Structure 1
């Protein structure tokens, strides 16, 4: 069954002190659904990265809010982090993201590259839109015994950079 059983939404100030609140809330939802400890840790890190991106880049005056939506499905969790702040050019971001390799120190990564790389590595599917602000949708499948293979990496926006 692919219908959403529940949808939760939070609106919080885009300030560093609220990133932990969002992270803890999403962690609680994932725990309730039966995700493994490792998957919950991955979800927490990805959500914190997405929220931190909003805090650091979306609002220059520091006065904005982020919306976090959480779709709970039988087989997956879809987490949306959205802002209505400064938007980025998808083409620009594509050009600024390079492959992350073990032989390059983290300090040499282009700005923004590590956060998106990390989110993409930790989640099963990642979609980004900048139609109105920036929206990132991260999906983590619930593996109840079965193994999902190659569910899809950053799709839509970054599909040609796989």
Structure 2
């Protein structure tokens, strides 16, 4: 794997009111890299969902905590890491609860806030990894040219 040509790291208090700072940072970095307006909006939503989840769920029993956000800038992609050292969660159990929105079963106006967080992250980013040991780490990747195509893959057209 190639080395990033720039790395930016921030730490914020685990409070929802600081998520806007992270959204602005992600927007600035992505704009500088050449992402489109729609891709920047997707990045902002995904990173804010990851930070909001960490702020709301990681440090339930503690007053203080922090969320670390790292941006690795490559020539072809942006990798964003959001990590906390708070309470972890059962990813498989959580995956059972997320999925496509079903209009027939639930009106969107009554969905609880943050209920689509992990689903949105996985939908809006090209690659997503969750690690949960001492806290939760979310690694999100967005490619400049859209979804990554496997290198050396055979083409369909002649």
Alignment pair present for 1:134 and 2:136: yes
Is 1:74 the counterpart of 2:75? The answer is: yes
More helix by share: 1
Alpha-carbon distance in 2 for matches of 1:42, 1:119: 9
1:148 alignment partner in structure 2: 147
CA RMSD of aligned residues (A): 2.3
Question: Aligned residue pairs: how many?
Answer: 148
Please give the secondary structure, in 2, of the residue aligned with 1:7: strand
Change (3 A) 1:100 1:150: farther
Measure the CA separation in 2 of the matches of 1:9 and 1:36: 23
Provide the C-alpha distance between the structure 2 equivalents of 1:109 and 1:99, rounded to a whole number of angstroms: 13
State the shift of 1:111 in Å.
8.1
TM-aligned CA deviation for residue 62 of structure 1: 3.6
CA shift at 1:6, angstroms? 1.0
Cα separation, 2, equivalents of 1:75 and 1:101: 35
Gaps of 5+ in 1: 152-162
- Residue 82 of structure 1 aligns to a residue whose secondary structure is strand
Relative distance call for 1:148 and 1:40 in structure 2 (3 A) is: same
Shift of 1:102: 3.9
Q: TM-score by structure 2 length?
A: 0.83
How far apart, CA to CA, are the structure 2 residues paired with 1:74 and 1:83? 27
1:11-52 residue CA offsets vs partner (Å, 9 max, x unmatched): 110111210111111111111101111111110111111111
Aligned partners of 2:97 and 2:114: how far apart in 1? Answer: 8
Q: Which residue of 1 aligns with 2:54?
A: 54
- Cα 1:83/1:2, change in 2 over 3 Å: same
